């Protein structure tokens, strides 16, 4: 690699870092993304000028095919489907690392160095498990596969043994270079490990899994950087690896679970099945849209708590209309966003931004939790577990210790929900039976539309 | 262990620390665009793919390389475009 190329790679790495730095504020985020694009373009162009590249026909074909598929995907994807898309892209990143490492293996000349051989194996291992793991995550998120955990006896032992096998095979591979069967064995084991490590993870834990796979895709790129001794790959891969790890940690904290618990405990049903089996009949106050309007007419402040159910019902746009009508009447309207609202980190913010909700109305849990007690009405739409007060009190509950929105402290609560069914955690929500809670049963979109129509009268 | 590998490990470790510092400052509001954007960045593997394909000493290496280019380019182009599409939607002032 020429000195010039390496200098340009340094420029590219700096641009990536500046790009991520600009993502720290919504005002500069778009510029940050553009800087990262520029960084990528710089790296690609300078690589194409490299003298080692002799044949461009394959390269151009590959770039055109990839760019076309990527562009169509990016234009067409629904915002509700972002988690699947990110999962798929993670997988492709991992797959690319495996392919490059394998291609490098077939091009080795002379006496292969031990460290190159070892990093080829590392790159294949991380890349391949990211690939198959992401495909499973995609299938679960897209509803091709059921969200409920799939377990088999000895799963953990199996995964542990598989990793030991990879290490042993890598050592053999380094000692007996050029032995293709070792490489193929690692490839196959990694494929299986990717599958067996994602299938036991329940649908509700998918945000953690995509964050983790995001991290792996970065590490796979960095591993490929080690194979071809390329610093821009190592730096960018490390940045992405770190990003995924932080998001994983944030998601785990928001659910009050350890990473080990998410990965191995196989928690969670498919969600939203029947109501809690407790025999006792509890009193629920049912109301209609007209009642809700009477309440809203007499309120000064409203906090809206959206959950994924809102997006499923495609009610974001009509909700934004409702919020605007209320704001025009001089009411104080805010949105409270729980970290795990939606199907991936920050998902709910994107869904609301798409519905033209300005981001200064979106409040994080920490900054709004003290405001609930001074709020007239909290409108909960399509959210359940993140409002469940059981998380504070009931030690034996799966929710216990999870940080929740203090919805129960508000003067009154309106919950738009189809039924009294339990959330992902399978825990009944006492908030629904509270005297100050009005249950508005029905489809979120229909119910909010009705409220808007009545308000306009 | 060769010096090159050692230096590479230095660069990797220091980059992880920079990454942690940078990402910790990204607000939860932007976590989805952060993920899709960083996803696109991990498509940097395309550089490796270009080198493998271009130098392609054997047909097999070339075919693997071109597949890697396709995978990584989908990741890069799709990732950056969808991130831009999302960030464009984030607006401060109420419109309409």
| Chain B interface test: which of A18, A28, A62, A124 (most B C-beta within 10 Å) | A62
Q: Does A179 touch chain B (CB under 8 A)?
A: no
Write down the ipTM of this complex: 0.94
**3-state class (DSSP) for residue B70:** helix
Distance CA A74, CA A51 (A): 33
Task: Look at B56 and A55 and tell me if their CB atoms are within 8 Å.
Answer: yes
Active site residue A385: yes
Q: Helices (H), strands (E): how many in chain A?
A: 17, 6
Distance CA A438, CA A295 (A): 10
Distance from CA of B3 to the nearest CA of A (A): 11
pLDDT score for A279: 44
Domain ranges of chain A: 77-264, 289-456
* Measured distance between the N- and C-terminal CA atoms of chain B, rounded to whole angstroms: 63
Domain ranges of chain B: 28-89
Of the candidates A24, A199, A30, A176, the residue with the CA atom closest to the CA atom of residue A111:
A176
Distance CA A360, CA A75 (A): 26
Distance CA A36, CA A21 (A): 10
Residue A35 CB partners (closer than 8 Å, separation 6+): A15, A16, A18, A19, A22
pLDDT in tens, chain A (457 residues): 688 999 999 999 999 999 999 999 999 999 999 999 999 999 999 999 987 777 788 899 999 999 999 999 999 999 999 999 999 999 999 999 999 999 999 988 777 788 889 999 999 999 999 999 999 999 998 888 887 888 888 888 888 899 999 999 999 998 887 789 999 999 999 999 999 989 988 877 888 899 999 999 999 999 999 999 999 999 999 999 999 999 999 989 888 888 888 877 776 544 444 444 444 556 777 888 888 898 898 899 999 999 988 888 889 999 999 999 999 999 999 999 998 888 889 999 999 999 999 999 999 999 999 999 999 999 999 888 889 998 888 888 878 888 999 999 999 999 998 888 777 777 888 899 888 899 999 899 999 999 999 988 7
**3-state class (DSSP) for residue A395:** coil
List the beta strands (DSSP E) in A293-331. 301-306
pLDDT score for A164: 94
**3-state class (DSSP) for residue A387:** helix
Provide the angle, in degrees to the nearest 10, between the axes of the packed helices A29-48 and B45-55: 10
Chain A partners within 8 Å of B71 (Cβ)? 66, 92-93, 95-96, 99
Distance CA A106, CA A88 (A): 27
CATH code for the part of the protein at A289-456: 3.40.50.1220
Distance from CA of B80 to the nearest CA of A (A): 7
Task: Look at B30 and A23 and tell me if their CB atoms are within 8 Å.
Answer: yes
Sheet containing A301-306: order of strands: A362-364, A332-337, A301-306, A377-381, A412-417, A437-441
HSE at residue A252, side-chain half, CA atoms within 13 A, is 16
Q: Which residue in B has a C-alpha nearest to residue A123's C-alpha? A: B45
Distance CA B25, CA B28 (A): 9
Tell me: the pLDDT tens digits for B81-94? 999 999 999 988 65
Task: Considering the candidates A205, A371, A385, A428, report the single residue annotated as catalytic.
Answer: A385
Q: Does A291 touch chain B (CB under 8 A)?
A: no
Q: What is the pTM of this model?
A: 0.90
- Scored b (16 or more CB within 10 A) or e, B12-51 reads beebbebbbebbeebbbbbbbbbbbbbbbbbbbbbbbbbb
Of the candidates A160, A221, A407, A429, the residue with the CA atom closest to the CA atom of residue A302:
A407
- Residue A141 belongs to what H/E stretch? helix A114-141
Tell me: the pLDDT tens digits for A82-119? 999 999 999 999 999 999 999 999 988 777 788 889 99
């Amino acid at each position: 690699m020429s000195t010039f190329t390496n200098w340009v790679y340094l420029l590219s790495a700096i641009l990536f870092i500046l790009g991520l730095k600009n993502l720290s504020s919504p005002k500069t985020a778009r510029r940050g993304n553009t800087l990262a694009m520029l960084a990528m373009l710089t790296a690609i162009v300078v690589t194409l000028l490299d003298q080692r590249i002799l044949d461009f026909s394959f390269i151009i074909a590959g770039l055109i095919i990839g760019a076309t598929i990527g562009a169509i995907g990016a234009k067409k994807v629904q915002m509700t489907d972002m988690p699947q898309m990110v999962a798929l892209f993670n997988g492709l990143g991992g797959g690319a690392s495996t392919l490059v490492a394998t291609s490098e293996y077939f091009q080795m000349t002379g006496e292969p160095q031990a460290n190159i051989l070892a990093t080829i194996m590392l790159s294949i291992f991380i890349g391949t498990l990211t690939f198959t793991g992401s495909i499973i995550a995609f299938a679960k998120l897209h509803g091709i596969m059921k969200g409920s955990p799939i377990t088999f006896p000895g799963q953990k032992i199996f995964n542990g043994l598989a990793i030991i096998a990879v290490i042993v095979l890598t050592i053999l591979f380094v000692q007996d270079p050029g032995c293709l069967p070792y490489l193929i064995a690692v490839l196959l084991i990694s494929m299986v490990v990717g599958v067996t490590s994602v299938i036991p993870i329940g649908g509700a834990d998918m945000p953690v899994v995509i964050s983790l796979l995001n991290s792996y895709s970065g590490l796979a790129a960095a591993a490929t950087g080690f194979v071809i001794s390329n610093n821009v790959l190592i730096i960018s891969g490390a940045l992405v690896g770190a990003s995924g790890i932080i998001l994983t940690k944030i998601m785990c904290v928001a659910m009050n679970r350890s990473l080990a618990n998410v990965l191995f405990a196989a928690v969670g049903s498919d969600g939203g099945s029947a109501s809690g089996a407790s025999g006792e009949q509890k009193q629920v106050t049912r109301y209609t849209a007209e009642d809700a309007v009477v309440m809203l007419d007499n309120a000064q402040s409203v906090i809206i708590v959206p959950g994924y159910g809102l997006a499923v019902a495609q009610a974001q746009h009509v909700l934004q209309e409702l919020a605007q009508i209320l704001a025009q009447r001089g009411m104080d309207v805010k949105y409270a966003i729980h970290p795990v609202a939606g199907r991936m980190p920050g998902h709910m913010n994107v869904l609301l931004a798409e519905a033209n909700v300005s981001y200064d109305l979106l409040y994080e849990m920490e900054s709004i939790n003290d405001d609930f007690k001074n709020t007239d009405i909290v409108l909960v739409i399509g959210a359940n577990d993140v409002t469940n007060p059981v998380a504070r009190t009931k030690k034996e509950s799966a929710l216990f210790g999870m940080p929740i929105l203090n919805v129960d402290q508000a003067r009154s609560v309106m919950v738009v929900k189809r039924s009294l069914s339990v959330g992902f955690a399978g825990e009944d929500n006492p908030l629904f039976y509270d005297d100050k809670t009005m249950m508005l049963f029905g489809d979120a979109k229909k119910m909010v539309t009705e409220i808007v129509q009545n308000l306009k009268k | 262990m060769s010096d090159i590998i050692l230096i590479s490990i230095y660069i990797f470790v220091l980059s992880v620390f920079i990454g942690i510092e940078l990402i910790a400052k990204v607000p939860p509001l932007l976590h989805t665009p952060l993920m899709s954007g960083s996803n696109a960045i991990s498509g940097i593997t395309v550089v490796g793919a270009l080198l493998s394909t271009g130098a392609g000493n054997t047909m097999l290496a070339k075919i693997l390389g071109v597949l890697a280019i396709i995978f990584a380019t989908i990741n890069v182009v799709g990732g950056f475009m969808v991130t831009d599409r999302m960030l464009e939607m984030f607006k401060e002032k109420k419109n309409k």
